[in-house]
Amino acid sequence: MTGLPLPQIDERSRPYWDGLAQGRLLFQHCESCGHNWLPARDACPACLAPNPSWQPSGGTGRVVSWVVYHTAYHDALKDRRPYDVTLVELDEGPRLLTNIVDSRAGAALRIGARVVLAIEQEGETALARFRLAESKRP
Ligand SMILES: [Zn+2]
């Protein structure tokens, strides 16, 4: 069985991946202007101040937009079709591309839907996925 391609983890992004492995979603925060963002960068994308800090997210946010993939562009995704790729905005501001685990391949999604963090393990890697806040857990 083919696994998903692994993320390219470097010194800049390692705190993000280590945080997920420990059950926390971290984002970067600018001490100069207060901007929050993902993915990891060396400088603030708003004011270019260096040395951002890492802050833990409360793990809640909303759906901004999504697409549904019916074509697998990697063998590891063949058995998962169709699946959503969703843009989530955390309540703290950062946006990330993710999957909504109970989206029924996007059918259950709507713009603005509240979501909560649902970290899932893919092989050795913990991924930040989300589930719909209003959905019932099985
Ligand atoms: Zn800044």
How confident is the model over 87-110, as pLDDT tens digits? 999 999 999 999 999 999 889 999
Residue 1's pLDDT is 46
Minimum mean pLDDT range among 19-23, 31-35, 82-86, 102-106: 102-106
Question: Does the pLDDT at position 136 exceed 70?
Answer: no
How close is the Cα of 133 to the center of ligand 1, in Å?
A: 31
Q: Distance, CA 52 to ligand 1 centroid (Å)? A: 8
pLDDT of residue 112: 97
Task: Answer for the pair 100, 115: CB distance below 8 angstroms, yes or no.
Answer: yes
Per-chain residues with Cβ under 5 A from ion ligand 1: 30, 32-33, 35, 44, 46-47, 49
CA-derived radius of gyration, the chain: 16
Q: Give the Å distance between the CA of 21 and the centre of ligand 1.
A: 27
Environment class of 136 (CB within 10 Å of its CB; exposed 0-12, middle 13-18, buried 19+): exposed
Q: Residue range 35-55: average pLDDT?
A: 97
Alpha-carbon distance of 83 to 72, in angstroms, equals 9
Residue 137 pLDDT greater than 90, yes or no: no
How far separated are the first and last CA of the chain, in Å rounded? 27
How confident is residue 3, by pLDDT bands cut at 50, 70 and 90?
confident
How far is ligand 1, taken at its centre, from the CA of residue 123, in Å?
A: 35
pTM, entire model: 0.91
> What is the model's pLDDT at position 2?
62
